[in-house]
Amino acid sequence: MYLPKHFVPDEAAVRDLLAEHGASDLITMTSEGLVATLLPFEYDPDAGEHGALIGHMARGNDQWRRPVQGEAMVIVRGPEAYVTPSWYPAKEEHHRVVPTWNYITAHVYGQLVVHDDPAWIESQIRRLTDRHEAGRADPWSVDQAPAKFVERQLRGIVGVEVVISRVEAKFKLSQNQPQGNIEGVVAGLEARDRAGDAAAAAAVRAHNPHAAGTGRRGR
């Protein structure tokens, strides 16, 4: 990953990303080439030395059957947004500005472990469901479905776990811009209000290196 120093997050920010992200791309190299599947993962910080990402996939998806050459990789994404130079006050001063794209991402590397075990899979499903149902007035629970139905559903999937060996993360959030331009990006994102803009604006604000108590946390 190309990683200029402005965009290097601290470990706490990376852990938060892994704990809060949604679906991510599981990528493996096999004897037949690269294979990728978009999967919802849960972060287990207590598994192994660096934690693990746990999930599941359809039994009919043969990615889990193909021997992996080397490490697996999971591409995790956070908020992202197009940034127009029109939001920069510097545009009116000298016009030496260009568009860019702000984003948060992490490349998570590790050993892929397959869990063809109904108890392990059910535990993972419950954990994933409970996290995403949390906060609803009437959260759905696996226990609301008939037990026999759940049992049949579990037979149709397998568990996957990426035991993390290393993480390369990049938080590209206008940290290389002067304070005025960063404020312009936040205001522009909030005013534009496309899908994801509010989260992107909050991320830019949280990692503003010029603001007291924020910036590249720990750096």
Domain ranges of the chain: 5-118+156-207
Measure CA of the first residue to CA of the last residue in the chain; give whole Å.
19
CATH fold of the domain at 5-118+156-207: Pnp Oxidase; Chain A (2.30.110)
Confidence at residue 26, expressed as pLDDT on a 0 to 100 scale: 98
pLDDT band at 47 (very low <50, low <70, confident <90, very high): very high
Confidence at residue 213, expressed as pLDDT on a 0 to 100 scale: 60
Please tell me the pTM assigned to this model.
0.91
Res. 144: pLDDT tops 70: yes
Q: Within 13 Å of residue 201, how many CA atoms lie on the same side as its CB?
A: 17
Res. 66: pLDDT tops 90: yes
76-87: per-residue pLDDT in tens? 999 999 999 999
Confidence at residue 82, expressed as pLDDT on a 0 to 100 scale: 98
162-211: per-residue pLDDT in tens? 999 999 999 999 999 999 999 999 999 999 989 999 999 999 999 999 98
Between 39-43, 114-118, 214-218, the lowest mean confidence (pLDDT) is in: 214-218
d(Cα 79, Cα 105) in Å, to the nearest integer?
A: 8
d(Cα 207, Cα 171) in Å, to the nearest integer?
A: 9
Confidence at residue 198, expressed as pLDDT on a 0 to 100 scale: 97
Sign for the CA dihedral angle at 138, 141, 146, 149 comes to: positive
